A and B are shown apart, each in its own frame.
Chain A
Amino acid sequence: MGRKILLEHIDVPGINTFDVYRAHGGYKAAEKALKEMSAAQVVEEVKSAGLRGRGGAGFPTGMKWSFLDKKSANPTYLVCNADESEPGTFKDRYLMEHIPHMLIEGVIISSYAIGCNTAYIYVRGEFKYIIGILNKAIREAHANGFLGNNIQGSGFNLEIHVHSGAGAYICGEETALLESLEGKRGNPRLKPPFPAVKGLYESPTVVNNVETLATVVGIINIGAATYAGIGVGKSSGTKLISACGNINKPGVYEIELGIPVEEFIYSDVYCGGIKDGKKLKAVIPGGSSVPILPQNLVCKTANGDVRLMSYESLADGGFQTGSMLGSGGFIVLDEDACVVRHTYTLARFYRHESCGQCSPCREGTGWMEKVLYRIENGEGRMHDIDLLVNISKNIEGNTICPLGDAAAWPVAAAIRHFRHEFEFHVKHPEIVKNIDHGSLEKFNI
């Protein structure tokens, strides 16, 4: 078992309350930061820990903080991105539900570091119950002098407000989230200016993921040097991986970055192997947007090296033979799973979630969905397969925000590695038409 920074006390009864969290070392990092460290020292600590954004992009957190426009006359805002919506990802929900005070403490320390006195936590609307949990934690932190004016006599003031989304994947993109927080449709903004210069209310803003902010607590507690010593290379520290699909033990696991993928899938400490003794077909290692890896590229890279759970190793080989760590949404497909069907459900997802602002994404996602539906239901033509590749290439890189890429990559990767399954669907309509997938939903192409 590796070192636990985030989930060490997750099983302690009552850890969701202030008193129990405090009794297990909670809010010590906040005290240390606010009383013994300058804001600049906290930023430096997070930088040298090598913490990278845990939402999916993996951008260095300390660097993101240091981009803030310090000359701005407007106040600085911290916005916590709790709009967890990437299919396969459910780690932030787990963290907020079970140990909400760690997020609150992380927001306090991070706000102090960037000079923010009003922070917002943007929670996806479907997590209505989490909003209640966070507000309870905020009340308790207030009552114990960790929020409000002059926190613990440090002279630092902070209020945290919880805000709700209302069902839109796109609001996980940071500028769409800011638009939504301002009471508008979640249409992403053109960058630059970046949020660090003009974000919420045209003020300097940092948007950080839930897990990222919670990890700041651990970094202050154990020190940057110790934290940076965990993991491998530029993938330092621990990461929450939410594992799902056809495995024996779906759930949220904290891993030291750099453990072998094979260990993660087959060890009883983690996924516990493939369900019902079946064979592995493929893995989508970082949330539904990242390229699918076929079985032969899961545990080893194309060069024959052991594939590790790290930003670099999962990306080894580029998109030809690699993928991405992304959000840590680890989706496992067994030998009976149909890649075409799976790709179709993802294409449908991205069509539904496209905000409609950029035509390549608005038109392209719907087009891919329809072509995939046609192939999946035995009406496909052989040239449809290359048509899909063509559409995906015309979306990729041609949109304001990364949703276009996120929609294009899974389709392109599925055809790259599983073209034979697509061809099978075209060649054998009589077989694919008679498979019972359940839902009666049908639409006319």
Chain B
Amino acid sequence: MSSHTAHKQYEKEGKPIAFSPEILEKVKQIIKRYPEGRQNSALLPVLHIAQEEFGGYLSVDVMDYVASLLHIKPIEVYEVSTFYTQYYPEKRGKYMIEVCHTGPCAICGGEHISKRLQEKLGVKLNQTTADGLFTIKEVECLGACGFAPVMQINTEFYEKLTPEKIDTIIDDLKQRASEPQPQQQKWVERFF
């Protein structure tokens, strides 16, 4: 139990951190799916939700807030968040581009996809474009080898890529960035 964190006010970029009542209710339902005394089992799902709700990355205060919800020590959250690749410690672009570079994608030209992306956006791997729109990362197998080469942009799959298709996809996203976004199904909704 972490009583010393229970009454702390969590903040991120000057705003208080707390799930909305609706989301908090759903998070509580998720926690109830695990047996009494095993609330920390909900940690991975709740971190996905928290990351999405609080700006796309996990700050220390966000992790402390999650710890208080699950009645676990903050360190138990930190050690988990640093183990899994889908939790991001830092702010990233609006579009997180993750290109697969493992064997099957590599033999189908995955590394040329990564190169074209870096050229097109003028940034290197793990960097974000100046307009804050794009971050590129090379990742390990995304489990879509039959459609190689593949990448994910914010968990949407893009398959059978060619360098030419990259140009179209990026131009399209740049154009759409200023338009109202179609509402994607959120993490919290997918758990129900």
Contact = CB atoms under 8 A, between A and B. Distances in A.
Interface of A: 84-90, 93, 118, 124-129, 131-132, 135, 139, 159, 161-169, 180-186, 201, 242-246, 250-252, 284, 288, 329, 331, 333, 337, 341-342, 345-346, 348-349, 352-353, 355, 437-441
B51 to A, nearest CB: 9
A346 B103 contact: yes
11 contacts: A89-B143, A93-B143, A125-B86, A127-B143, A161-B33, A166-B86, A167-B87, A345-B101, A345-B103, A440-B125, A441-B101
Interface of B: 33-35, 38, 40-45, 47-48, 70, 72, 76, 79-80, 83-87, 101-104, 106-115, 118, 124-125, 138-148, 152, 155, 185, 187, 189-192
A180 B81 CA distance: 12
Contact of A201 (B38, B109, B125, B190): B38
Nearest to B83: A185
B145 A349 contact: no
Nearest to A410: B103
A340 B138 CA distance: 20
Given A87-B102, A127-B143, A331-B107, 19 more contacts: A87-B103, A87-B104, A90-B145, A124-B143, A132-B189, A166-B47, A166-B48, A167-B84, A167-B85, A168-B85, A182-B40, A182-B41, A183-B80, A184-B76, A246-B107, A284-B103, A355-B83, A439-B115, A439-B125
Contacts of B104: 87-88, 244-245, 288, 331
A250 B144 CA distance: 10
Contacts of B87: 166-167
B119 to A, nearest CB: 8
B44 A166 contact: yes
B145 A329 contact: yes
B155 A126 contact: yes
B145 A353 contact: no
A139 B134 CA distance: 36
Nearest to B33: A161
A168 B83 contact: yes
Contacts of A250: 145-148
Contacts of A341: 106
A440 B38 CA distance: 45
A345 B106 CA distance: 8
A288 B143 contact: no
B143 A85 contact: yes
A163 B138 contact: no
Nearest to A126: B142
B145 A346 contact: no
Contacts of A93: 143-144
Most chain A Cβ neighbours within 10 Å, of B34, B86, B104, B147: B104
Given A124-B143, A288-B102, A439 B114 contact: yes
Contact of B187 (A124, A128, A185, A440): A128
Contacts of B40: 182-184
B48 A125 contact: yes
A352 B79 contact: no
A345 B102 contact: yes
A169 B139 CA distance: 12
Contacts of A186: 83-84
B29 to A, nearest CB: 11
A183 B145 contact: no
A439 B43 CA distance: 35
A135 B107 contact: no
Given A131-B191, A166-B47, A184-B80, A288 B103 contact: yes
Nearest to B84: A166
Nearest to A355: B83
Contacts of B106: 341-342, 345
A131 to B, nearest CB: 5
A126 B156 CA distance: 9
B145 A87 contact: yes
A4 B109 CA distance: 33
A380 B86 CA distance: 34
